Structure 1
Amino acid sequence: MSQPPLPVRVPLVTQPWGILKSLQMARRNILSIIPAIATKQPMVSGKTGKRWHMVMDPTAIREVLQDRLDNYPKAMVVKNLLKPAIGESLFIAEGAHWRWQRRTAAPVFSARNMLNLSPIMTAAAERSCDRITTAGPRAINMADEMVTTTFDVISDVTFSGDDSIDRDAVHVAIEDYIAQAGKISLFDILGFPDWVPRPDRIVSGKAVRQMKRLADTAIEARAKRGSNGTPDLLDLLLEGVDPKTKRQMNTAELRDNLLTFIVAGHETTALTLSWSLYLMGFDQAAQDKARAETQSVLQGRAATGDDVEHLPFIRQIIDEALRLYPPAGMLSRTAQVHDTLGGREIIPGDTVMIPIYALGRHEQLWDDPDAFKPERFADRKSIDRYAYLPFGDGPRICIGASFALQEAVIILATLLSRFKFTAVAGKNPEPVMILTLRPEGGVWLTAEPA
């Protein structure tokens, strides 16, 4: 009896590569440097310029992300790629500088504030439906459509009421930056200091300057004008105060964190939705089940924040898409002290990687790991907390996780209640990670009224 087909995946390495081959492959797709045995073993170590360890053992992962957080700060390669755009913001900062920013920003992402922002997500889902309907029966690249939709959301929750902001310019600047800045340099792999120029960062400099200029303009205008109705993300950040030190963010700190939320907030959710829709085109039975749930709950209207808890199968689809195609497919840390992880010696300067992509497909942690089975998330308690890390974990877990999940459920439920999506033959996307795990080639689907 033949096995059912599997959704697209990254071909993992079956033999060791030298440093130049590794660089070449990493610039094309970071995930292609993951050895296939990383889906079978609890830990894999090697040396490519520097000593490295890939950790897939949940206990050891907990030690890195939770128990010994300060011993494993984010790797310099990650900071070097992102610092020109987002400075010492929450995503990059370490120690006390990170802690006070996290305390200041945490209330911004409270459940109440997220629910207050949900009408913006509902409105964006409605506009997406309108565009899909207008496009008619032809094939649509739903990856592009989801980028448009989630940027709609993040720009409305950031710049609501500010007509002076050129949102298209912000979008273009962010896309230009992501396209260039994520390409790993040989200098990064070899551990060269940050002051050594990287060609791709020089190329992306114009986009960075444009992003910062637009963000500064928005912050200064809002500080003068004040809030305009329901507080949006920018209002909440402007009002934020660290409860411990009473410190508030200055304009540069606000700008860097705002850009972090804008870049991360629309890119990662767009990818989650794109891969979810690819999987719906791949598995029509799951799509039919999802549509039945959404139509029963929504009764023809768009989904709202209040509907999210009543759409469990939609959430399972999103969780499974995040397992198979995590937007952040790899976390990288640099060891600061001598340590032991999973029985292996770690020395200062070692790169410790958590390949989230391999973790989600690990044979010892998941049944039939390469298959699309959303029902595996029906019982969340049965899943090891450190076997499933689409948003990281520990004190540095993604601060916007609840925002992203609420948005993804609202948009996916609305689309599936209105349309039947069918995959276009011969148009499978290729999972490629530069900064994030994107469906290269697009997610091409036809949409007909459900």
Structure 2
Amino acid sequence: MTVQTLTPAETTALPVRVPLVTRPLGLLASLGAARENLLSIIPEIAVKQPMVSGKTGMRWHMVMDPGALRRVLLERTEDYPKSRATKNLLRPAIGNSLFVAEGADWRWQRRTVAPVFTHRNVSALAPVMSAAAGRACDRIAGAGPRAVDMMDEMTRATFDVIAEVTFSGGGTGFERDTVHRAIDGYMAAAGRVSLFDMLGVPDWIPRPGRVLSGPAMVRMRQVADEAIEARRARGPAGVPDLLDLLLAGTDPESGRRMDTAGLRDNLLTFIVAGHETTALTLAWSLYLCAFDPAVQEAAAEEARTVLGGRLAGADDVPKLEQVRRVVDEALRLYPPAAMVSRTARVKDELGGREVRAGDTVILPIYALHRNRLLWEDADAFRPDRFLDRKAIDRYAYLPFGDGPRICIGASFAVQEAVIILATLLSRFRFRAVPGRDPKPVMILTLRPEGGVWLEAEAR
């Protein structure tokens, strides 16, 4: 597989993207390319067709057709479970939580957790997000005229949010630094998602360089257990946080409550997934705003008008329409979960193509969001394409997945991203640093390799 070479005309006025490939690779070359960046194995034809199939040791199908995606994610979801390798990759950090569980185990957890993320509960957590946005502004202002890595800044801001809304109370019984270090270590140790994982290759075949657990991960789980027990003994104080809500939660069908292990696994899921994905969304949004100053100024003017110099809050989110469109377009161009895989349990047909039991079904969200059959000027940064959301096919835009397993924290993530981005844009003008464009690379999530280095000028 060779890397697609883009002509100068094709690279003009387009934000950074992953070079896709124009002809098949052999197995060894595919493994090497995937080790560097899993998205680099996507064939260029995947952004021009609804489905691509092949065999790289095992049969696989890349699905970009909205109808077929609806079948996989909504209509026949139990026939397309998450691949075993994906579960094994995540289980050391998040156990048998909602994200990993299947069948009846997943259903009761989902019923128990769903009330936690009601609009009312998510809105009540907005002041924590606003405070984190204010602290981020102070840090950026304190950096002076030098460039700042906004990926680092946004990771810090969103970790502050998720730590506070998960274990509020000043960190009593909760070692934030320990958890943060463990998450960073896990991301590095788990490394780049292997092509073996996506193709469903048996677990006993080693993935080079991967170590999924260690002392930091063990300590993180201990810290979470201790915090849960301390909260159970103490009880809630003030506005209920996520842990309070989970401790009070019951399955409406069985009356079952989560034990400490279940609470820990789901809280760590929210921590690991919650801050990472929102930080990425914000970092890519700021990169795109610096890339297109006209869009940035329009969104900033809206933010200044709505906020009037104060921090953004939950009531402002519906009014920040342009800021929200920037977030939506960042999620389209750089979806955090840029590629996921399922394993077909039974024989089926997708897009008129035969799928056999055991086949790997790959959902390359990155290619779906840039598919020419679904999006005009697919590689361009055009937030106004979201002016009429009803005109967009529901299964052409899947930053949070869909169906019964849609990301349960989607509304939390969007509210947080809009609040923080609006606050930043109202106070700073961001400019790109020449020669320091980020490189989109998938390492569990779609990250900006090299960081997002921007200069921030106070407005």
TM-score range, shorter chain: over 0.9
Out of 137, 141, 151, the residue aligned to residue 149 of structure 2 is 141
Kindly indicate whether the alpha-carbon contact (under 8 Å) linking 2:154 and 2:282 is maintained by their aligned counterparts in 1.
yes
Q: Which deviates more, 45-54 or 162-171?
A: 162-171
Q: Is the 8 A contact 2:86 2:197 kept in 1?
A: no
Does 1:312 pair with 2:321?
yes
* Residues 236-282 of structure 1: per-residue CA shift (max 9 Å, x gap): 11111000011111111111111110000000000000000000110
SS of the residue 2:430 aligns to: strand
135-144 vs 79-88, which moves further? 79-88
Are the structure 2 counterparts of residues 31 and 199 from structure 1 closer, same or farther at C-alpha, using a change threshold of 3 Å?
Answer: closer
What is aligned with 1:46? 54
CA deviations 1:147-187 (Å, max 9, x no partner) are 00000100000111033321111101001101121434576
Structure 2 portions without partners, runs of 5+: 1-7
CA pair 332-317 structure 1, distance change in 2 beyond 3 A: same
CA contact (8 A) 1:241 1:248 kept: yes
Residue pair 2:344, 2:359 contacting (<8 A) in 1 also: yes
Q: Is the 8 A contact 1:81 1:182 kept in 2?
A: no
Counterpart Cα distance in 2 of 1:325 and 1:168: 28
* Alpha-carbon separation, structure 2, partners of 1:355 and 1:189: 11
* Equivalent residues, number: 450
- Aligned amino acid, residue 42 of structure 1: P
Residues 23 and 184, structure 1, Cα contact 8 Å, conserved in 2: no
Find 1:32's aligned residue among 24, 35, 40: 40
1:241 is the counterpart of 2:250:
yes
Residues in 2 aligned to 1:338 and 1:232: alpha-carbon distance in whole angstroms: 44
Indicate which of 32, 55, 61 corresponds to 2:69.
Answer: 61
1:124 is aligned, of 132, 146, 153, to 132
Q: Structure 1 regions of 5+ residues with no counterpart?
A: none
- State the secondary structure of the residue aligned to 1:202: coil
Partner of residue 376, structure 2: 367
- For 1:18-417, list aligned pairs within 5 A: 18-161=26-169, 162-185=171-194, 188=197, 191-194=200-203, 200-202=209-211, 204-417=213-426
Residue 428 (structure 1) aligned with residue 437 (structure 2): yes
Counterpart-to-counterpart distance in 2, 1:191 and 1:376 = 36
Query: Do the aligned residues in 2 keep the contact of 1:71 with 1:337 (CA within 8 Å)?
Result: yes
The separation in 1 between residues aligned to 2:134 and 2:389, in whole angstroms, is 30
Cα distance change on mapping 1:197 and 1:41 into 2, 3 Å:
closer
CA contact (8 A) 1:300 1:417 kept: yes
Following TM superposition, by how much is the alpha carbon of 1:204 offset from its aligned partner in structure 2, in angstroms? 3.6
> Normalized against structure 2, the TM-score is what?
0.95
Instruction: Indicate if the aligned counterparts of 1:74 and 1:334 stay in contact, CA closer than 8 A.
Output: yes
Cα shift at 1:77? 2.1
Stretches of 4+ aligned residues off by more than 6 angstroms: none
Quick one: distance in 2 between partners of 1:66 and 1:182? 30
Structure 1 residues 418 and 333, CA, compared in 2 at 3 Å: closer, same or farther?
Answer: same
> Residue 448 of structure 1: which of 425, 437, 457 is its match?
457
Change (3 A) 1:57 1:192: closer
TM-score by length of 1: 0.97
Aligned-partner residue type, residue 271 of structure 1: L
Alpha-carbon contact 2:92-2:213 (below 8 Å) kept? no
